[in-house]
Structures are given as C-alpha cells and as structure tokens.
C-alpha cells in the first residue's frame, strides 16, 4: 500500500511506478532528508504537536536508518517513489505507529525543497574550497612568474609583451569573481522553505524560526506558495557554474594551444596527458580538452532547468522532480573539473625560453615606439602612422624593430635619439607600463598582495 493510497481503488500500474519514481537519483539526498526530518521532529516535539517522547522515538529511528544506509544495509524501493517516502516507510516499519506522525505539518513539497537547499549549501561549500585551491595555485604561479616574459595577444595575433605571472593573475580575477558569485548565491540558497506545507502553510502552531536555527538557515522563505515553487537557487547555481566552466574552458583552450609545437610555451606533465592508439609520438592534452567539452554539458544543464521551470504555474508540479539530474550532474562535473584542472596546472612545465623567444617576433614593441614619439611631442595619431611605416619597412627588409640602427630610426622621424634603443627592449616595454593594473613588476606585486589578502580572509 502506498503512503498516499487511501483514496485509490486500484494500485498504480508498474509502468507508472517506475516512470514516476525519482529514487534512482534522489537517494543522493538521504542524509539531507534525514537531517531535515530530525529537525522537523524536534520542532513538532518542542511545539507539543507530538509528545517529546514521540519526537525522541522518531529521531532515534531516523538516526538508525541513517547509520544503516551508511553501512550499505538499505535497499531503496521504486514502489516508494522517492527518497522522502522510502525513508518514511522505513521509519514506520522500524518504529511502528508513531512513525506515521513524522509527516504532520509537512508536505513532500517543502521537504524536497529543504533537502535540495541543504544539499546545495554543502556542495557550494566544497566547490568554494576547490576554487580557493585553484586561486592559490594561480597566485603562486603569478608570484613565481612575475618576470617571465611572454607575448600577449589580441585576435590571437601577437600584440604586446606581458608576463606569464600577469596572465595567471588575470585568471585569478576571473575565478575570484566566480567565488564571490557562489557566496552570493549561497545567501539565497540558505533560506528555509520547510514549514510551508504543501503550498498554503499549515494549521499547526509550528516554529519555523526554531527549524531555521536547527538547520543553520539564516532566514525563512516569507511566502509559502513561493517556498515550494521556487527553484531560482538551482538556476542561479547552474548559471554560476556555467560561467565558471566558461572560464575553465577558455583557460583550457589556451593550454591546448600553448602545448602545441606551434607555441611550445608549456608542456603538460605525463601524468596529465594521454597518448594515441595509433601514432606513437603523440602526447595529447586530453584532460584540458575534456574540461573544455564539459562546459557544453553544463550549459546544457542550465538550458535543461530553465526550460523545466518555464511556464510552470504555482505551486509544485511534478515537472520539478526533473530539477535534480541537471543539478547533481553540474555539481559532480564541476567538482571533478576544478580538482583535476588545478592538479594539471600545478604540474605543467612552463617553457620560459620559448615564451621569451616568441616576443622577439611580431613587432610587439611597436606601440612603445609610438608612445616614445608622443612623449617627444608628436600627437599619437601621427606617431602611429610613422611607426606603421617603420613596421612595413621592416617587413620588406626582413628585419625586426630591434635590428634597426639609430640612423634608420631617424629616417622615419628626426626626434628619435639614442634612448630609443633602450625603450624597445622587451623587458623595458613591460617595466614602462606604469598604469594601475598593468603588467609591470610593481603592479603585479600589488595584485599579489590583494590576492593574498583575499585568500587569507576566506
Ligand atoms: N520526488 C519529488 C520531487 O523530487 C518530491 C516531491 C513530490 N511532491 C508531490 N507533490 N508529488 O520533486
């Protein structure tokens, strides 16, 4: 007999049982379901909705179920549909009639909402921990490579010299925003829906403040109709995860390019690379490629949940059961990606020599020559044109700007003096970027200092 079987004259078709059931995936929530139920039973006892004795028997029953699940002694049943009813049924089987009192002043609608929030709150904590590890790696790379010169690109064309440390600190900013976004999301996850009942509230004098306190929520959903209908926090989390995956994917794309023979800026550690089944020489950046691919999967999860929720009337609809597969999939894949990406980054070899060599070509100091002329009094647009002509001359002569003699410089403008030969050195191009937030050594030191403070505070 189903827990809700009273008004039915026949049992459900077995086809419906298996179609309707979510136990296959929502058993992941067993711990959170029991946590929520324990708090609920405590509250019922405290408010004299059940006796303190009954409350205690229920709590002990729930704890023994938890222990058995953890020992692998429990098999969940499709017949009982989901984690909530499986546990309730186990409880009734174990402690008898009093177990039937647990569901007083509660619906599965507020129950499932509180379970998901408890689960997600915990997972956001874990993900923030992983993000913090990644931020620490980036900060360490930033420190170590503060003076490692490399080409910076726009349109994937060599643009201006920067340092690898500066590059890593750009990614630091991106993942720092991800961290902050998750903290912000956590504020909205951590609100209590339990006590809402099915949709309208309940007829019992419950104490939702007490429930919130017991479960560590910092507030209570104000409107019970909203409490059971809302999955914004799931959408918000998967949006944040999508942005994070986009960052990981961009980073992976760079690492894939950089580990090609064409760049040869980095080499992945053997432990984080794979070979080819046919080409004996191959060493492939599979891990980075797979993370790049997983970004697509997470975006799919976002579309999935957005589309499920679109046009659902208030309050609970069974469609909402479909929220869990994309949520769980996002959490699991995001954690895997963050963990492995960090290890891959820590173990890769940075080829400073190759990075430096790459800055010799591509006229990466051309903007510095233009700035030189501006400082000697020319308007920027005129100096831009002069240097453009100089670059064209170099291309025709097969030279770089560094190959030009002072006399050759002066054929383009009489204001060039001896000091130009210093200005065009790549190290000086970097050192002369004096604006706040630039690639110069001192500016990166400031970034590192702030990065350190950020990590220390968290
Ligand atoms: N398994 C359901 C879900 O995940 C639990 C809530 C069921 N509520 C209901 N009224 N049928 O959404």
Nearest to 235 by CA among 311, 312, 326, 297: 326
Atom of ligand 1 nearest to the CA of 81: 1
| Mean pLDDT confidence for 220-235 | 98
- Which of 242, 276, 382, 384 is labelled catalytic? 276
CA–centroid distance, 410 to ligand 1, in Å, is: 79
Q: What is residue 3's predicted lDDT score, i.e. its pLDDT? A: 87
- Nearest residue (by CA) to ligand 1, atom 12, is 321
CA–centroid distance, 210 to ligand 1, in Å, is: 25
Nearest to 129 by CA among 77, 186, 72, 68: 186
307's tokens: 């589309």
pLDDT grade for 39, boundaries at 50, 70 and 90 = very high
CA–centroid distance, 112 to ligand 1, in Å, is: 7
Angle between helices 83-95 and 52-70 (to 10 degrees): 120
The secondary structure of 226-284 as a DSSP string is HHHH--HHHHHHHHHHHHHHHHHHHHHHHHHHHTSTTT--EE--GGG-B--SS-TT--B
Report the DSSP beta bridge partners of residue 154.
157
- Nearest residue (by CA) to ligand 1, atom 4, is 321
Percent of the chain with pLDDT over 70: 100
- Classify domain 361-457 at the CATH topology level: Ribonucleotide Reductase Protein R1; domain 1 (1.10.40)
H-run or E-run covering 422: helix 420-423
Pocket test for ligand 1, best of 112, 227, 327 (most atoms within 8 A of CB): 112
Q: Confirm whether 276 is a catalytic residue.
A: yes
Lowest mean per-residue pLDDT among 6-20, 48-62, 173-187, 316-330:
6-20
Q: Confirm whether 14 is a catalytic residue.
A: no
Q: What is residue 192's predicted lDDT score, i.e. its pLDDT? A: 98
User: For ligand 1, is residue 321 a contact (CB within 6 Å)?
Assistant: yes
pLDDT grade for 209, boundaries at 50, 70 and 90 = very high
Map residue 162 onto helix, strand or coil. Answer: strand
The secondary structure of 365-393 as a DSSP string is THHHHHHHHHHTT--HHHHHHHHHHHHHH
The gap from C-alpha 44 to its chain's centroid, in whole angstroms, comes to: 38
pLDDT tens-digit profile of 385-396? 999 999 999 999
Would you say 134 and 341 are in contact if contact means Cβ atoms under 8 Å apart? yes
CA distance 458 to 455: 5
User: For ligand 1, is residue 229 a contact (CB within 6 Å)?
Assistant: no
Looking at domain 109-204+215-357, its CATH architecture is: Up-down Bundle (1.20)
pLDDT tens-digit profile of 309-358? 999 999 999 999 999 999 999 999 999 999 999 999 999 999 999 999 99
Q: Please tell me the pTM assigned to this model.
A: 0.96
| Mean pLDDT confidence for 43-67 | 98
pLDDT tens-digit profile of 136-160? 999 999 999 999 999 999 999 999 9
User: For ligand 1, is residue 108 a contact (CB within 6 Å)?
Assistant: yes
CA–centroid distance, 26 to ligand 1, in Å, is: 10
Q: What is residue 2's predicted lDDT score, i.e. its pLDDT? A: 87
323 secondary structure, DSSP code: G
Phi/psi region, residue 398 (left: phi>0; alpha: psi -120 to 50; beta: rest), is: left
| Mean pLDDT confidence for 435-458 | 97
Percent of the chain with pLDDT over 90: 98
User: For ligand 1, is residue 22 a contact (CB within 6 Å)?
Assistant: yes
254 CB-near residues (< 8 Å, 6+ apart): none
Average pLDDT, the chain: 97
- Which of 37, 155, 413, 441 is labelled catalytic? 155
- Classify domain 5-104 at the CATH topology level: Fumarase C; Chain B, domain 1 (1.10.275)
Cβ neighbours around 319 below 10 Å, total? 13
CA–centroid distance, 109 to ligand 1, in Å, is: 6
Atom of ligand 1 nearest to the CA of 83: 1
Q: Domain ranges in the chain?
A: 5-104, 109-204+215-357, 361-457
| Mean pLDDT confidence for 446-455 | 98
pLDDT grade for 43, boundaries at 50, 70 and 90 = very high
């Amino acid at each position: 007999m189903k827990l809700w079987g009273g008004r039915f004259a026949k049992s459900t078709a077995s086809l419906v049982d298996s179609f309707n059931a979510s136990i296959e995936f929502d058993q992941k929530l067993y711990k959170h379901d029991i946590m929520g139920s324990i708090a609920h039973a405590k509250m019922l006892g405290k408010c004299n909705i059940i006796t303190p004795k009954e409350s205690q028997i229920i709590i002990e029953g729930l704890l023994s179920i938890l222990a058995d699940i953890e020992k692998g002694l429990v098999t969940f049943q499709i017949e009982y549909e989901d984690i909530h009813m499986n546990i309730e049924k186990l409880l009734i089987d174990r402690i008898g009639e009093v177990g039937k009192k647990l569901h007083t002043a509660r619906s599965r609608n507020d129950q499932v909402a509180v379970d998901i929030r408890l689960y997600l709150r915990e997972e956001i904590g874990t993900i923030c921990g992983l993000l913090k590890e990644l931020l620490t790696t980036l900060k360490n790379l930033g420190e170590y490579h503060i003076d490692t010169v490399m080409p910076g690109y726009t349109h994937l064309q060599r643009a201006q010299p920067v340092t690898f440390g500066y590059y890593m600190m750009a990614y630091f900013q991106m993942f720092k925003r991800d961290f902050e976004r998750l903290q912000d999301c956590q504020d909205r996850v951590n609100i209590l829906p339990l006590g809402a009942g099915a949709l309208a509230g309940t007829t019992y004098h419950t104490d939702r403040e007490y429930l919130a306190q017991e479960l560590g929520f910092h507030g209570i959903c104000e409107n019970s109709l909203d409490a059971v209908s809302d999955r914004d926090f799931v959408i918000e989390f998967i949006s944040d995860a999508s942005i994070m995956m986009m960052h990981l994917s961009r980073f992976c794309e760079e690492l894939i390019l950089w580990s090609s023979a064409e760049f040869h800026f980095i080499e992945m550690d053997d432990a984080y690379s794979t070979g080819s089944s046919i080409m004996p020489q191959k060493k492939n950046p599979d891990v980075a490629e797979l993370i790049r691919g997983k970004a697509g999967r997470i975006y799919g999860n976002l579309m999935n949940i957005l589309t499920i929720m679109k046009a659902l009337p208030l309050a609970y609809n069974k469609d909402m059961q479909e929220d869990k597969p994309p949520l769980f999939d996002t959490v699991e894949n995001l954690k895997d990606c963050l963990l492995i990406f960090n290890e891959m980054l820590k173990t890769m070899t940075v080829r400073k020599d190759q990075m430096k060599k790459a800055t010799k070509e591509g006229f990466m100091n051309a903007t510095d020559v233009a700035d030189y002329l501006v400082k000697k009094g020319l308007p920027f647009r005129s100096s831009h044109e002069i240097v453009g002509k100089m670059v064209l001359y170099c291309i025709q002569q097969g030279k770089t700007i560094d190959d030009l003699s002072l006399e050759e410089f002066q054929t383009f403008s009489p204001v060039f003096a001896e000091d130009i030969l210093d200005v065009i050195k790549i190290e000086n191009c970097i050192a002369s970027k004096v604006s706040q937030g630039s690639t110069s050594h001192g500016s990166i030191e400031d970034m590192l200092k702030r990065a350190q403070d950020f990590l220390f505070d968290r």
